[in-house]
Amino acid sequence: MEPIVQIRDLHFTRGTRKIFNGISLDIHAGQVTAFMGPSGTGKTTLLKLIGGQLRPEKGSVKVFGEYIHNVNQETLYSVRKKMGMLFQSGALLTDLNVFENVAFPLREHTQLPEQIIRDLVLLKLESVGLRGARKLMPSQLSGGMARRVALARAIVLDPSMIMYDEPFTGLDPITKGTIVTLIKELNESMGLTSVIVSHDVDETLSIADYIYVISEGEIVESGDPNNLSTSTSGWMQQFLKGLPDGPVPFHYPSEEFKSDLLVGR
């Protein structure tokens, strides 16, 4: 079966900085695929390229059979309806309560009767454990609750694929575990394809079927969590274990410390 997302020889530059230097990867239906790597390596940029918000400098991004950077506006919107997005901040509309935040995509993109909208919203809120919070405003929610409401909104149109941008950032351990469980259960129960950008090693390894590790514009390693955990690459082990020194040095390059101290003496 053809992958849902096919990226080939992707090049992308911001200003003078090369973000991607010819990467190629596939995202397969039904799997949880993760992008990991140091900060500033373009992981969120990759989500924007998949969503058609950005265009590659060279290469191709094929999503649901369409070269997303070459389609017209109508086709782009049609493809985007098959995608859900969970933003790092949740991005809830602050003037709407929980119910109306989740209902918003239904009101914008469908002409469903009000009773069906109500049933769908309550169903999605129930799936993330927040049906009882439907009358609360975003300002009354904890960070974890806001993330769960945003997840309910992301799935309310029953997309085929959901992209998660740093879904675990800033959450306490219990809430992290809740989000991990939700992603896993929703992926299985709804037959979704999930794409996760994350720095959280343990959570990502526990949930992902396949992981791409990106650094300096290239895919430095890829595989299932077990393969990455047993990698003999020093860089990979430093990244996974959070070691302060290794192939990525602790000290910024400089002259010998002793010589530097003696300058001008």
Per the model's pLDDT, the better-predicted residue between 88 and 95 turns out to be: 95
Task: List, edge to edge, every strand of the sheet that includes 193-197.
Answer: 83-86, 161-165, 193-197, 32-36, 210-215, 218-223
Distance CA 172, CA 258 (A): 44
Handedness of CA 80, 86, 89, 94 (dihedral sign): positive
Cβ–Cβ under 8 Å, residues 85 and 51: yes
User: What pLDDT is stored for residue 5 in this prediction?
Assistant: 94
Within 190-233, residue ranges assigned H as helices are: 201-207, 225-229
Beta bridge partners of 222: 212
Coil/strand/helix, residue 154:
helix
Contact 183, 32 (CB under 8 A): yes
Q: pLDDT higher for 39 or 125?
A: 125
pLDDT at 250: 47
Q: Which two tokens stand for residue 201?
A: 């090693």
Whole-number pLDDT of residue 121:
93
Q: What CA–CA distances, in Å, run from 37 to 6, 44, 220?
A: 20, 11, 9
Strand partners, 21: 11
Q: Which one is predicted more confidently, 154 or 199? A: 154
Tell me: pLDDT of 50 over 90.
yes
Element (H, E) at 196: strand 193-197
In 3D space, the residue among 47, 66, 87 whose CA is nearest the CA of residue 214 turns out to be 47
- β 210-215/218-223 pair status: antiparallel
**Looking at 8-22, 198-212, 223-237, which range is the least confident one?**
223-237
Report d(CA 94, CA 170) in Å as an integer: 20
Q: State how far the Cα of 209 lies from the Cα of 22, in Å rounded to an integer.
A: 23
Average pLDDT, the chain: 85
